[in-house]
Structure 1
Amino acid sequence: MKKINVKENIVDKFIGFFDPVSAAQRYRARIAMALAGGYAGASRTRHALSSWNTSFGDADSDLIPDLPALRERSRDMMRNAPLAVGAVNTVVTNTVGSGLKLQARIDRDILGMTEDQAAAWEDSVEKEWNLWADSQECDAARTLNFAGYQELAFRQTLENGDVFINMPRFTRIGSPYLLKLQMIEADRVCNKGFIGDSVTLSGGVEKDQYGAPIAYHIMDQHPGNRYAVNKYKWTVVPAYGSNSGMRNVLHLYKMLRPGQSRGVPYLAPVLESLKQLDRYTETELKAAVVAGLWTIFIKTETGNPDFPELGNSGYGQETDNTADDQWKNVKLTGGQIIGLKRNEDVSTANPGRPNDKFDPFVKAVLEQIGVALEIPFEVLLHHFTSSYSASRAALQEAWRFFRSRRSWLVSCLCQPIYETFLTDAVALGRVNAPGFFADYRIRKAYCSAIWVGEAPSQLDPVKEVSAAVTRVEKGFSTVDEETVLLTGGDFQANYPRIVKERRLLEKAGLWQPVQSQKNTSVESQPQPKKQEEVEK
């Protein structure tokens, strides 16, 4: 039978003092509510759960007040905690790498193009894109190309929770396109005049009745800029153009709850664990350093030694400092020979460092941190000492996470910017796309593309290639897909080069065409003897 323990709170006591009858009815109602719940995890009377305090707010109410502290602590970890830096760098390197490359893949059936026409159009657009994306002219600050923008934007979403990309258009000498990218750090987006949050304005994001963003309140300078004079001025930027309906600002963040206006730093769930582990590591390191200096204690009959700094100013030298001040400045160094006074003795200490329990404990904590960050322990520490199968399983599990993040980055950053670029290119007449502005379906067909990144590392390339060949032969995959998985390349782009290289090698006598399996198997079978040979 379920045990019920409903304690009287201050409200019950207050009501009972003035109206005992109502208090009794209230108490019976509370007992009935306690009986109705069937989950032990929701109990407020169990001793183990009695101090578990939770909040009842919506996404923004729970998040926005804590965001400044979460960002600051996340950035501090990225400056000073090796494990935090390693985790974020691992995700960024494997997700973005040297940058995701555009491959235009238009829907030629909708556009009524032949295969050759589609290939020529795609090649022309990719060259135009590279003209803009490979140059620092795509950046309003003339600092990064588009590959660098991908890395910085993704790193900001992990470190701060979100980042904003403004897309202004202005003329600049040396650039054929007006479109520029301007990255805005998360701290700069906040409610204008620091007014309180409301249903339609939260965290600097202004929304309509459906929750869609309509404007962003952006500070002209970073609030932490100690040199800015007019940093507390805002510019309200519309989310979409009033005439074109195109995005003016991209907001990159991972939505975890409906109605969430801002992003959560990637390290938020493990900040406390990482900080405590960092402190523990630093303490163990200091203890090991002190142990390496051969720590000693000086015992005297009076219990009040009066010598100054050991190993620094010399033992027994006269100083102007008091005994207490001298002890505060004692320094231990290696290779010192210290003389003792009368009635003094030396007692050595055994700190037990290095600690042989340090490594197993740290690994146990890192395994839990890795679960929260979706990075297996082996990948988090780049520590592949297990079997081939275990290491490969860890890499595969990590790459499921990296691919999901890559897909998110493509849909939230790369593809929207490409579509904006292509719209400008068509409007400027640099790309010919009939019907682009007349029909949304045609525009979508022109904007279709894929983004290719670096492939996963291979523990055993021979086995990986053999498995890829088998998948292609059995029809489970294509050469194009396997090229992406193995090398991150593009088979369609590689094919003309492969043909050219093999012709050159054949001509030089360095390449022998591989015979088909069917012909090889027939030739290898023993041929039946002729009738004359049998009669002989």
Structure 2
Amino acid sequence: MFGRPYSRGKYHILNSGYSHHGANMVKKSLIGWDSTSLGPKSDIDDNINRLRQRSRDLYMGGALVATGAIKTIRTNVIGAGLKVKPAIHANVLGLSDEEAEEWQRRAQQEFNLWAGSKNSDAARRNNFAELQQLAFISWLVSGDVFVVPKFKKRIDTPYETCVLLVDADRVCNPQMSDVGDRTIIEGLEFSDDGEVVAFHICNQHPYDSVNSKIPRKWTRVEAYGKKTGRPNVLHIMEMERTGQARGVPMLAPIIEAAKQLGRYTEAELVAAVVAGMFTVFLSTETPNEPLGQSAVPDEELIDEDDENTVELGNGAVVDLGPNGKAQTVNPGRPYAGFNDFVVAVCRQIGAALELPYEVLTKQFTSSYSASRGALIEAWKMYKMRRSWFISDFCQPIYEEVISEAIALGRIEAPGFWSDPLIRSAWLNAEWYGPTQGQLDPLKEVNAAAKRVEEGFSTGARETSELTGGEFEANVEQIKRENRLKEIAGMKKNGGGDSAVLGDEQDPDKE
């Protein structure tokens, strides 16, 4: 009755807004798009084991660009280890500046005593800086890592606090079962309102056969101590969805692209190697007879037991045997468009990982402005991940160590145990790590000096970010050097021609 105009009008009504664009199910470009999305358990947690295994394979050599990305982020975020600088709230604690500086110096010495020793590791294999890089790598590659603060009596240190890193696979459901009531998801036990109340940790890697004679058993570790409220397990992960139980490996979005790029690169490499040799096809009128002799010496044969294998050598002449014919082949390798294709794929991989192409491949061949822009963009990601890692790992461990130092009486902190606000004021600290790097050091130094002069930053922060050093230590060293230079009649450092830091003004120059 209404004919085609009505049908078209009805179609227009049904396909307005998002239904006409991103949600359209009529256009040929979208009708075959299977984009069903489920809850975080189905989308993430049920697939986490396979994602974790494939991510590790890429990191261990499945794709060199993936390995480079992980190590680049590790080096720029953690480097040789993040350094702590206590920064207590002196006004809250009623301390003078001198008292605050002395307390902070003492606290840093005590923490460095603990952190610089392998006693900081429950397994006594790494110091705290090495534990940082191990935990960070595990977080990126596996999606998450677990940290268990423990106490072990040591003969050569006053501290019992130590850190046990737990591989992501060891936190799993008891007996590797799928719990029907959904209270335990991938080793995490949840309350009714979604709070993690306990972790189920296997005594060994559940998929490892090395300790197959030792029965596997799971220990239920409550998330927080009942008396102290102290966290018994630190779970380091990056959440993507509300209700998510386990972390997703950083390489997850680029697994397919990285793997295919690795395969293509390997195929091109093999083709280029073969093209560099004397490449032939062997044909014979007697196919039942074995192929001719290899051009490679017997001691270098890859498969010397297979008489039908012919291996090529550099500049080789192969004995073709009776009735054999040789046909040379030009494989056309290396492919002229190989580099452009790899660059295009790497740009997409870098965008997904928040690593500009220049940083991902370490090729700063563009202009100064473009290279600096790439470094700045990458640095934003480094700072974000460093901030998360400090909050989830470094700061909680620092608080554990300083709390033990106060309990042992090695550091005095009045009110520490009685008032949470006072305790927080004593435990406040800043962390510093690798610097951004400088394309033009003179410009960077001038900019840093200007920030300090205008009050936008401090000497301590700029020193740490530019050189990784400590401002106070530099000042003391400059004082000593200036005294030596004054004796030798040399030009002094740190304050121009007329100043010696920390000394009185030279009366001859008044």
TM-score exceeds 0.5: yes
1:38 alignment partner in structure 2 = 19
The offset of 1:479, in angstroms, is 2.4
Q: Which residue of 2 aligns with 1:68?
A: 49
Gaps of 5+ in 2: 298-305, 500-510
What is the CA–CA distance in structure 1 between the aligned matches of 2:408 and 2:433, rounded to whole Å?
30
Shift of 1:188: 0.5
**Deviation at residue 195 of structure 1 after TM alignment:** 3.3
Residue 151 of structure 2 aligns to a residue whose secondary structure is: coil
Is 2:121 aligned against 1:139? yes
Which one of the candidate residues 369, 385, 396 is aligned to 1:389?
A: 369
Distance 1:469 1:113 in 2: 30
Structure 2 partner of 1:247 = 231
Letter in 2 for 1:225: D
The answer to whether the Cα contact below 8 Å between 1:269 and 1:372 also exists between their aligned partners in 2 is yes
Structure 1 residue 424: Cα displacement: 1.8
The 1:2/1:455 distance shift into structure 2, 3 A limit, reads farther
Q: 1:337 aligns with which of 317, 329, 349?
A: 317
| CA distances 1:15-59 after superposition (whole Å, capped 9, x unpaired) | xxxxxxxxxxxxx9x998667853421122322222222233222
1:291 lines up with 2:271 in the alignment: no
Label 1:207 to 1:498 Cα distance change in 2 as closer, same or farther (>3 A): farther
Residue type of the alignment partner of 1:69: R
From 195, 219, 229, give the equivalent of 1:212. Answer: 195
Counterpart selection for 1:376 from 356, 359, 366: 356
Q: Is the 8 A contact 1:221 1:231 kept in 2?
A: no
Q: Write out aligned runs for 1:260-275 (5 A).
A: 260-275=244-259
Cα shift at 1:341: 7.2
Structure 2: which amino acid aligns with 1:192? P
Runs of 4+ in 1 over 4 A off after TM superposition: 1-5, 30-37, 302-307, 338-345
Shift of 1:305: 8.5
Q: Which amino acid aligns with 1:432?
A: E
CA gap of 1:170–1:274, structure 2 versus 1, over 3 A, is same
Residue 120 of structure 1: SS of its match in structure 2? helix
Q: Which amino acid aligns with 1:253?
A: M
The corresponding residue for 2:300 is: none
**Which of 463, 481, 484 does residue 461 from structure 2 map onto?**
481
Equivalent-residue separation in structure 1 for 2:315 and 2:6 (angstroms): 69
1:224 matches 2:207: yes
Q: Determine if contact 1:106/1:118 at 8 Å carries over to the other structure.
A: yes
Could you say which residue in structure 2 is the equivalent of 1:418?
398
**What is the TM-score normalised by the length of structure 2?**
0.88
In the alignment, is the contact (CA less than 8 A) between 1:219 and 1:231 conserved in 2? no
CA gap of 1:374–1:35, structure 2 versus 1, over 3 A, is closer
1:451 to 431, 437, 442: 431
Summarize the Cα distance change of 1:87–1:40 in structure 2 as closer, same or farther, 3 Å threshold.
same
CA contact (8 A) 2:296 2:311 kept: no
The 3-state SS of whatever aligns with 2:28 is coil
CA displacement, residues 179-230 of structure 1 (integer Å, 9 cap, x when unaligned): 1111100001011233324443211111223322211000111012212234
Residue aligning to 1:175: 157
The match for 1:531 is none
The residue type equivalent to 1:95 in the other structure is: V
Report SS of the residue matched to 2:140.
Answer: helix
Q: Larger relative contact order (C-alpha < 8 A, sep ≥ 6)? A: 2
Partners of 1:341 and 1:424 lie apart in 2 by 80
Q: How far does residue 292 in structure 1 lie from its aligned partner after superposition?
A: 1.0
1:319 is matched with which residue?
A: none
* Aligned partner (choices 30, 52, 56) of residue 33 of structure 2: 52
1:242 shift after superposition: 0.7
1:123 counterpart = 2:111: no
| 1:408-428 CA distance string (max 9 Å, x none) | 111010001111222222222
Residue deviations 1:83-139 (CA, integer Å, cap 9, x gap): 211111100001000101110010000000011111111111111111111100111
Relative to structure 1, the CA distance from residue 90 to residue 231 in structure 2 (aligned partners, 3 Å threshold; closer, same or farther) is farther
Change in 2 beyond 3 A, CA 1:263/1:231: farther
Code of the aligned partner of 1:61: S
Return the alpha-carbon distance in structure 1 between the equivalents of residues 100 and 481 of structure 2. 25
1:104 aligns with 2:80: no
Give the Å deviation of 1:398: 0.9
**Structure 1, 162-171 or 344-353: larger mean CA deviation:** 344-353
Q: What do the CA deviations read for 1:134-179 (whole angstroms, capped 9, x no partner)?
A: 1001111000111001000000000100000111223232231121
- 1:480 alignment partner, SS class: helix
State the TM-score, normalized to the length of structure 1. 0.84
Question: What's the C-alpha RMSD, in Å, of the aligned pairs?
Answer: 2.7
* Closer/same/farther in 2, CA of residues 207 and 335 from structure 1, 3 Å limit: same
Identity of aligned residues (%): 44
Does the Cα contact within 8 Å between 2:294 and 2:319 map onto a contact in 1? no
Give, in angstroms, the shift of residue 500 of structure 1. Answer: 2.5
Q: 1:478 to 1:124 in 2, by over 3 A?
A: closer
Tell me the CA shift for residue 266 of structure 1: 0.8
Residue 335 of structure 2 is matched in structure 1 by: 355
In structure 1, runs of 5+ residues without a counterpart are: 6-27, 315-324, 518-536
Any conservation in 1 of the 2:77–2:383 contact (CA below 8 Å)? yes
Q: Secondary structure at the match of 1:181?
A: strand
Q: Is the 8 A contact 1:455 1:488 kept in 2?
A: yes
**Larger Rg computed on CA atoms:** 1
Is structure 2 residue 61 aligned with structure 1 residue 77?
no
Q: Which residue of 1 is the match for residue 302 of structure 2?
A: none
Structure 1 residues 33, 178: closer, same or farther in 2, change over 3 A? farther
Would you say the 8 A contact 2:143–2:246 is kept in 1?
Answer: yes
Letter in 1 for 2:129: A
